[in-house]
Amino acid sequence: MAESITVHKVLDAKGLVCPMPVIKARKAIRDISLGQVLEVQATDKGAVKDFEAWARQTGNELVDWTETGGIYVFHIRKAKE
């Protein structure tokens, strides 16, 4: 699944807690074009629910997310300018 996604920008939000991961994601997604994918790496345990909500609210697409050893990796496709 994840292999087929081309990531255009990576945001390292590891170690950050609410609300910083979504605030940094908002800034980072400005740097990519429509249709491109932002990868966010986070360790905040609330990040899954927060990124699901954040994607719905901003109109961007949360393509997938995985968790390995406490590190969450989100793929967010920019769907709105």
Single-letter amino acid code for the residue at 46: G
Give CB contacts under 8 A, 24+ apart, made by 49-54.
50/18, 50/21, 50/22, 51/21, 51/22, 51/25, 51/76, 54/22, 54/25
- Residues 7, 10, 18, 20: which is the catalytic one? 18
Judged by CB under 8 A, the residue of 7, 23, 34, 71 near another protein is 23
CB 4, min distance to another protein, A: 28
- Whether 9 is catalytic is no
Judged by CB under 8 A, the residue of 4, 6, 33, 57 near another protein is 57
Annotated catalytic residues are: 18
